[in-house]
Amino acid sequence: MAIVVNRPKLSFLENLYFPGIIKGLIITIKHAFKSLRGETHVTMQYPEEKWDAHLPDYYRGAPTLVKDEHERERCVSCQLCEFICPPRAITITPGEIPKDDKWGKVEKAPKAFEIDMIRCIYCGLCEEVCPEQAIYLRKDYAITGTSRAEMVHDKEKLYEIGGVRTGLVNKWNELK
């Protein structure tokens, strides 16, 4: 069944069309002046303005390695992160810590630790799976480079971004 929608009855002024046009022009110029006075929220001007201060605590940025309060590498090269990583971005070459070292009982530390930031999907599974709490997703998001090689973060770079995190895992301390 056809539904009849009646056309609205226009008044004389509306039929003249000009008042409508002028009303529209006033609306647009109001917006223009508001923008000029800076009262409108416009797009953030990215490189100059950044949203960094508003990033939430759970923000997942670049994955990094962290050291503990004794400047010891937390990573023990268990390779769990390498195995769980969905895009296989992590490559670990395990190495041994000599027996007479201060941290000899830790037994292993990575000889090389590489995260390919082109592959990384920032899922955070590495952080979740790490038994030593050695890998963390920091708030860095602008990871750029001019070549593929530059986009692979090696151990040095990872520690540089990661820094130190104190008092999370205490099982390797002297007292235990």
Partner 1 sequence: MLAAIDLFFLVSTMVKIVFFVMVVVMTLVAYTVYAERRFSAIIQDRVGPNRVGIPFTKISLAGLGQPIADGLKFLLKEDFTPKHVNTFYYWLAPALTMVPALMSAAVVPFGSEMAIPFGDEIYRVPLVIADINVGPVFVFAITSLSVYGIVIAGWSSNSKYSFFGGVRSSSQMISYEICMGLSIIPVIMILGELNLTKIVEAQSANGWLLLPAWGNGLSMQSWLLLIPVIISFVIFTISIFAETNRLPFDLPECETELVAGYHTEYSSMKFALFFLGEYAAMIIGSGIIVTLFLGGWSLPFGLSEHLLANKGGFWGIITPLIHFGCFMSKVVAFLLFFIWVRWSIPRFRYDQLMRLGWVFFFEIALANIVLTAIIMVVLR
Residues that bind partner 1 (CB under 8 A): 21, 24-25, 27-29, 31-32, 34-36, 40-43, 45
Q: Tell the smallest beta-carbon distance from residue 147 to partner 1 (Å).
A: 23
**CA of 27: how far to CAs of 4, 21, 24, 88, 169, in Å?**
33, 10, 5, 54, 62
Cβ closest to partner 1, residue 30 vs residue 70: 30
Q: Which residues of 44-79 are buried (b: 16+ CB within 10 A; e: fewer)?
A: eeeeeeeeeeeeeeeeebbbbbbbbeeeebbbbbbb
Give the single-character DSSP code of 69: T
Q: Tell the smallest beta-carbon distance from residue 51 to partner 1 (Å).
A: 16
Cβ closest to partner 1, residue 29 vs residue 118: 29
- Residues 75 and 98: their CA atoms lie apart, in Å, by 16
Among 97, 95, 81, 71, residue whose Cα is nearest residue 133: 81
Q: Tell the smallest beta-carbon distance from residue 14 to partner 1 (Å).
A: 15
Cβ closest to partner 1, residue 9 vs residue 41: 41
Cβ closest to partner 1, residue 13 vs residue 27: 27
Q: Tell the smallest beta-carbon distance from residue 13 to partner 1 (Å).
A: 16
Q: Which residues of 107-134 are buried (b: 16+ CB within 10 A; e: fewer)?
A: eebbeebbbbbeebeebeebbeebebeb
Q: Tell the smallest beta-carbon distance from residue 18 to partner 1 (Å).
A: 9
Cβ closest to partner 1, residue 8 vs residue 98: 8
